[in-house]
A and B are shown apart, each in its own frame.
Chain A
Amino acid sequence: SSELTQDPAVSVALGQTVRITCQGDSLRSYYASWYQQKPGQAPVLVIYGKNNRPSGIPDRFSGSSSGNTASLTITGAQAEDEADYYCNSRDSSGNRLVVFGGGTKLTVL
């Protein structure tokens, strides 16, 4: 099965731009989706597909992909963006399986 690798922790100064990355072989074939999870809450989808935001997600969140790496960029990070971020994608096995990354803890300084 495939794996997705994320940095465990990333920090960003308030108002600055931060990129959170996700690496894995499956990303050569499938787009990553990105989820934000705050303590005690269910995950929330923030980016899906090539670079799509669900309704209600601020436009400071964007997604991109190159080769085996997907990125979530937050342009002008806000205090409320401090959270855990997870990527996921289809597994590259082709059996309609899904794999999650280990998550990145984002701290807004």
Chain B
Amino acid sequence: QVQLVQSGSELKKPGASVKVSCKASGYTFTSYAMNWVRQAPGQGLEWMGWINTNTGNPTYAQGFTGRFVFSLDTSVSTAYLQISSLKAEDTAVYYCARELHGYDGSFDYWGQGTLVTVSS
């Protein structure tokens, strides 16, 4: 069965960096695009961007350029989200989500989410 398993919660100080992992199983990792979605406390879902798991080419949404980096390790079917120069407003749950073939923007499987807390 398809599963996306994310790394555990993180507590970081402002200015630090964090790397969230999303390990896929149950399907061919390079056959489906991977998206990242942020959800701040008590807020809605915000699309951060996606990465082409074939080429490794990332696309970032407005507001997620510069400090946010998507990457892959296809040898272990894992996608990564790295955030640098963390700010308090980066506190959120971060989800990875697989994009369904042929259905624009439809995310059929989601990771369980990783809570990143930024606090001094």
Chain A residues in contact with chain B, CB under 8 A?
1, 30-31, 33, 35, 37, 42-45, 48-49, 52, 54, 84, 86, 88-90, 95-103
Contact indicator B108/A45 (Cβ below 8 Å): yes
Compute the total of residue contacts between A and B using a CB distance below 8 Å: 70
Contact indicator A100/B104 (Cβ below 8 Å): no
For the complex of A and B, the 10 pairs showing the least CB-CB separation, nearest first, are: A48-B106, A90-B104, A42-B110, A33-B106, A103-B44, A98-B105, A98-B47, A100-B45, A48-B103, A90-B105
Output the nearest chain A residue to B107 by Cβ-Cβ distance.
A45
Q: Which of B37, B45, B61, B100 contacts A48 (CB 8 A)?
A: B100
* Shortest Cβ distance from residue B32 to the other chain A in the assembled complex, whole angstroms: 14
Contact indicator A103/B45 (Cβ below 8 Å): yes
Report if A45-B106 is in contact (Cβ < 8 Å); known contacts: A97-B59, A98-B35, A98-B50. yes
- Interface pairs (21), CB distance under 8 Å: A30-B105, A42-B112, A43-B107, A44-B110, A45-B100, A49-B103, A54-B108, A86-B44, A86-B45, A88-B45, A90-B104, A90-B105, A95-B59, A98-B47, A98-B104, A100-B44, A100-B45, A100-B46, A100-B47, A101-B44, A103-B44
